[in-house]
Copies of this chain bind each other. A is one copy, B any other.
């Protein structure tokens, strides 16, 4: 697999991105990484940090698309940015998958307008893999489409279900729709109409509405939401994760007694941290695009970025885009 990486996207770019690529190159022997960015700058940085230069190919791109740039600039003003050049390599079949931790809006625009959606897919969805008591689940859309129609949600359900089956080996994933109650009549008109479509969708195992409180407890393998409420559910979850980590640290380092206590439960805490760490799950695949696109978290460090590359590799290997195409014809 050839994975193309945007070297200049993310809060800690390009150094953590490069380090993540090095880690991925070590771990994933069958993967070829194409790092796109300002070649001289990247080469110098690697040399300064003693990072081996022979692990991956660097493709030169003179410009950088920042968080402040308009998403559509990826098409025109910033068409020579690392992100835009990376998208072009994907489009031209010079790469099999794409990873960026940069401007989410630009990733969405670039993927949709340069690489294009799968034929028949109405909207692409940002699909986050999130931790729960029962292991990872997927929520989509997490923010690509603030306004949704019922048929978008129906397609999100099909795509999320296929992802969890193909890439996370979950047999017959339970698909729930995020709603303000479990009864069929709950929600706005969007949810009520979408419910009817989901019930009839032959490609999924629809278990009905799911309330926010059941998500972290593992109530569904795929949670379908409009991009507005999905984004809110995602970010509330992130906030709680951060609050809990902060509180746990404060608790355990308070005094000598608690530090001793911390030593005794350290194994369990590390297990828990690993289970709850979004970095373990890589990035958010953008489902509905005709080639594998993964949006890594903006705050990704090397490890998180390495996992996003790993995820892109699994995504590309799974052949799930063809499965989605087949499913669209089946419904």
A binding-site residues for B, Cβ under 8 Å? 132-133, 143, 146-147, 178, 180, 187-188, 211-217, 227-229, 231-244, 246-247, 250-252, 254, 257-258, 260-265, 268-269, 272
Contact = CB atoms under 8 A, between A and B. Distances in A.
Given A178-B232, A251-B272, A261-B262, 7 more contacts: A133-B243, A180-B231, A212-B232, A212-B237, A217-B242, A240-B241, A251-B269
Contacts of A243: 132-133, 216-217
Contacts of A146: 180, 187-188
A265 B258 contact: yes
A234 B236 CA distance: 9
Nearest to A268: B251
Given A229-B232, A238-B212, A240-B216, A257 B264 contact: yes
Contact of A240 (B187, B240, B246, B257): B240
Interface centre among A236, A238, A268 (most CB of B within 10 A): A236
Nearest to A254: B268
17 contacts: A146-B188, A178-B232, A180-B228, A180-B231, A211-B235, A212-B234, A212-B239, A213-B242, A216-B239, A217-B243, A217-B246, A229-B229, A252-B268, A260-B261, A261-B261, A261-B263, A262-B265
Q: Which 3 A-B pairs have CB atoms at the shortest separation, nearest pair first?
A: A261-B264, A212-B235, A212-B236
A241 B239 CA distance: 12
Nearest to A191: B228
A284 B132 CA distance: 27
A241 B260 CA distance: 26
